[in-house]
Structure 1
Amino acid sequence: MDPLSKAVLNGAPPDEIERLPLPDEFLAGHLRATDADASAGTGVKDVRNTLHVGPVPMPEPAPDEVVVAVMASSINYNTVWSAMFEPISTFTALRRFAKQGGYAARHDLPYQVVGSDAAGVVVRTGAGVRHWRAGDHVVVSPAYVDDQDPGSHDDGMMGENLRAWGYETNFGGLAHYTVVRASQLVAKPPHLTWEEAATVTLCAGTAYRMLVSDHGARMKQGDVVLIWGATGGLGAYAMQMVRNGGGIAVGVVSSAAKAEFLRAQGCDLVIDRRDLGMGDDADPAADAAELGRRLRRAVVAEIGEAPRIAFDYVGRATFGTSVHVVRRGGTVITCGSSTGYQHTYDNRYLWMNLKRVIGSHIANLQEQTECLRLFNQGRIVPVLTRVFPLEEVADAARLVQENRHVGKVAVRCLAPQDGLGVTDPAARARIGEDRLTAWRRVPAPAPTGAGR
């Protein structure tokens, strides 16, 4: 381990951190451009074949950037997409970004450090950084915003040059160090461990924008919200935000075990989609209207009214049903398509019932800050269930790829063990250890036994 990493782990003061040199290279989970070229058209899908761990050079930070020593990160589905090189290789995005010139050119490399979540310690600040200093404990937002883009000054997510850090950029969070823009930083909730904090920004921030923000569905008290995949990272945070905001959470899951656990977490109504005939072999195009009717009847029977909002990141397998199931004037809000991007639905149910479809992507810095307030208040808690060391990041990504996880899967980077990083133990005690670690009690999934 390099001297700077050792100093950070030992709690060195800011002046000592600033005095120690950045290492020339660091350990990182990364992809190789040669793998992207070799896998083209082969149908190779196992991310363990393409997500490598090894040393990479330290990039030069730009004046508006900071270097963060990453204590922990987490797995998101965009890392799975990156490692599958689908729908296109992310090296294409890096080459496009590099054409801007200047510091952007650094991102076009024969490797890509991936990962769109991080919690860690600031170790360097560029000359243009004003609000952060060495030693600050931070979490990193995945919204890589161009502050010289006019659209960004209306909403950070509306700039033409917005990118998802660690997916459409290099130097992501699954590493010992990351280089990020200062506009990506939010203060880490002091009562959370490193691995807990690392599961927050992408999924919780995205869910906040989708449900609460003026840019999303504008959920109100009493709104019935249908949440697909309610035990996944996005869905689990969405369920908490619905209940915290006075809404009625209807979680859809794919097994009896997930349903039982979600009920224990306080979800108002839990539906096992298999009970409605929505098995993995269901045809989403042919069955959407009928499945929507069954789902609507099930919700109305228990709640008394149909959903006003459908929270959908699953995509092709659920989108047509989402359009059908929300009530007249209702909203389908979507931020992803883990089962496929080409959606089919009956447009009559949209236009004749005055429904809306809203696309949502990550969250701007104000939304992230407001979201983190909820964690600081203890109103929202982490949904961390598994932690892997960085050396096993490919296995962690495979777990998510095969949808064998519940909640969020974290990756320890520099943190040598779980449970570190808490600087406000009184707040942690006030919120309650049992609440903060509830999701850790989900039984671990059985291994597939598949080799590399």
Structure 2
Amino acid sequence: MSELLVDAVRRGAGPRELLACPVPESYRAVHLRRADEELFRGLPRDAKDVRESLHVGEVPMPELAPDEVLVAVMAAAVNYNTVWSALYEPVSTFRFLEQFARRGGWAARHDRDQQVVGSDASGVVVRVGSAVRHWKPGDRVVVNPPYIDDQDPDAQRDGMLTDSMLAWGFETNFGAFGDFAVVRATQLVPKPPHLSWEEAACNTLCLGTAYRMLIGERGARIKAGDVVLIWGAAGGLGSYAVQLARQAGAIAVGVVGSDSKADLLTDLGCHAVVNRNAVGLGDDDSDPGTAWKALGSAVRRAVGEDPHVVFEHVGRATFETSVNVVRRGGTVVTCGSSSGYRHSYDNRYLWMRLKRIIGSHGANIHEAWEANRLLRLGMVVPALSTVYPLEQAGEATRSVQLNRHEGKVGLLVLADGEDQGVEDRDLRERTGEDRLRLFRRHAASNPAHPHGSSGRVRGAVPATSAAAVPAPVTAAAPGPDR
């Protein structure tokens, strides 16, 4: 029976036909099993392989709550939170589901022996709950991952401040890596009409997070001329941070670990790129007590002054360097700790030099709509580098686990090929096919990349476009240490 609904979605059926097709009792999904919780216990880090814990198969269809929407997922994208889930670290993902279920009511559905993971998706609404007012079957949408209780009083000022906020597909069930997904109506934003399904699916988590960190009212609030140092600038978060910094008139300085990633950032419009290996920050044994001075000198040589803002998400391996290298009165804004949660730094560099640390997490729905608006205007482009079929979700997640990717890694779910779902060809042409395919083109031309995309578009990125990139800042002589 599921074929009827899937076929109707693929044909672009209208609301009446979608509602006439029955919702299946089960659906195909990438999921984790409670029985595998101890799979990696005691193993060294390099022996833990997410391909062993991610399974593709049928899972039961949940009942829809009044404030929820059932989305037929056309495409999805991998985030690092799926790596954490698949490793059952730092705590088992099933502990999150148990905690959520203790709230009772509709939350109890989430505590199952399997969890459908994934926090980025694009698709078509096929059912809405009785309390949903602003969405209807047939709407093309993307999903904002924060799962917020809109009846919590704090949600009226900032949904990210609610005690009950969860990350969809990480701390909840029924996530993005399945033919269907269950989301709250307050998670939805319109799909940008000039993007394909896979291009639309890869943005929301990382772009929204970067928007809140750099642009939003509770972030660093960068302005024209600010120097913004961006760790992991060729990755999912970092590549959106580079684009937002440029659109805000700031000076983007990216930190990467290879020449190929440096080339990508140059094409993306980063003012300056620093290879972390060249400044002694190439491995976990680096001494941040001295390496930050080399990084600071490299930044000053490239752009003439110290960073106003450091965009931080690496964690333990970089945090002390970030605190030290940002200028007097500057800001470190952090949203994660992929290299470790326990940070240490010399607090004198913080308090005596009047620096700030801002914790940031996800994006509330207003910030998600504003970030999505930049996509719809063609001012920001998807960071999609590679696309896998859903059946190879383990391989896709493994590439993220090993940091073998650039930008974002996508999954085709119900879309049966790339480049489907584009509605506005004129806007796509104005945005520029080369810009939209920049990350895929670099992945296809990189022999070290584990799984390049089709790479159909070749040639250099245009010097001018809908979001023109100004010339790099002229390097100046190094200034004194802070």
The normalised TM-score by structure 2 is 0.91
Question: What secondary structure sits across from 2:273 in the alignment?
Answer: strand
Distance in 1, matches of 2:374 and 2:443, equals: 27
The residue that corresponds to 1:221 in the other structure is: 224
CA deviation map 1:57-92 (0-9, x unaligned): 110010000000000000000000000001001100
The residue that corresponds to 2:316 in the other structure is: 316
On the 8 A contact 1:288/1:345 being kept in 2, the answer is no
Read off the aligned partner of 1:379 and give its amino acid letter. Answer: M
Which of residues 117, 135, 145 in structure 1 aligns to 2:120?
117
- Given the alignment of the two structures, is residue 267 of structure 1 paired with residue 257 of structure 2, yes or no? no
The residue that corresponds to 1:433 in the other structure is: 433
1:297-316 matches, within 5 Å, as 297-316=297-316
Read off the aligned partner of 1:40 and give its amino acid letter. Answer: R
Read off the aligned partner of 2:18 and give its amino acid letter. Answer: I
The residue that corresponds to 1:47 in the other structure is: 50
Structure 2: gaps of 5 or more residues: 452-482
CA deviation map 1:161-211 (0-9, x unaligned): 000000000000011000000000000000000000000100000000000
Q: How many residues end up aligned between the 2 structures?
A: 446
Shift of 1:282: 3.0
CA deviation map 1:86-132 (0-9, x unaligned): 10011001000000111100000000000000000000000000000
Shift of 1:304: 1.5
The residue that corresponds to 1:204 in the other structure is: 207
1:27-426 matches, within 5 Å, as 27-43=28-44, 45-283=48-286, 287-426=287-426
- Given the alignment of the two structures, is residue 6 of structure 1 paired with residue 7 of structure 2, yes or no? yes
CA deviation map 1:341-383 (0-9, x unaligned): 1111111100000101111000000000000110111100001
Distance in 2, matches of 1:423 and 1:199, equals: 18
Distance in 1, matches of 2:50 and 2:141, equals: 29
On the 8 A contact 2:406/2:443 being kept in 1, the answer is no
Read off the aligned partner of 2:130 and give its amino acid letter. Answer: A
Shift of 1:302: 2.1
Read off the aligned partner of 1:12 and give its amino acid letter. Answer: A
1:250–1:447 distance in 2 versus 1, CA, 3 Å: closer
On the 8 A contact 2:73/2:414 being kept in 1, the answer is yes
Question: What secondary structure sits across from 2:300 in the alignment?
Answer: helix
CA deviation map 1:199-237 (0-9, x unaligned): 010000000000000110000110000000000000000
Read off the aligned partner of 2:332 and give its amino acid letter. Answer: V
1:448–1:129 distance in 2 versus 1, CA, 3 Å: closer
CA deviation map 1:287-339 (0-9, x unaligned): 22311111111111221110010001111111100000000110001101111
% identity of equivalent residues: 58
The residue that corresponds to 2:462 in the other structure is: none
Distance in 2, matches of 1:412 and 1:443, equals: 17
CA deviation map 1:382-410 (0-9, x unaligned): 01000000000000000000000000000
CA deviation map 1:29-67 (0-9, x unaligned): 100000013443445510000011101011001000000
Distance in 2, matches of 1:2 and 1:56, equals: 16
Question: What secondary structure sits across from 1:66 in the alignment?
Answer: strand
RMSD across aligned positions (CA)? 1.3
On the 8 A contact 2:312/2:332 being kept in 1, the answer is yes
On the 8 A contact 1:225/1:247 being kept in 2, the answer is yes
On the 8 A contact 1:288/1:324 being kept in 2, the answer is no
CA deviation map 1:389-444 (0-9, x unaligned): 00000000000000000000000010000000111111111111111111111135
On the 8 A contact 1:32/1:50 being kept in 2, the answer is yes
The normalised TM-score by structure 1 is 0.97
Structure 1: gaps of 5 or more residues: none
Read off the aligned partner of 1:313 and give its amino acid letter. Answer: H
Shift of 1:448: 7.4
Distance in 1, matches of 2:299 and 2:439, equals: 26
1:301–1:42 distance in 2 versus 1, CA, 3 Å: closer
Question: What secondary structure sits across from 2:349 in the alignment?
Answer: helix
Structure 1 window deviating more from structure 2 (218-227 vs 42-51): it is 42-51
Question: What secondary structure sits across from 1:315 in the alignment?
Answer: coil
CA deviation map 1:222-254 (0-9, x unaligned): 000000000000000000000011000000000
On the 8 A contact 1:69/1:178 being kept in 2, the answer is yes
Read off the aligned partner of 2:253 and give its amino acid letter. Answer: V
On the 8 A contact 2:281/2:288 being kept in 1, the answer is no
Structure 1 window deviating more from structure 2 (195-204 vs 288-297): it is 288-297
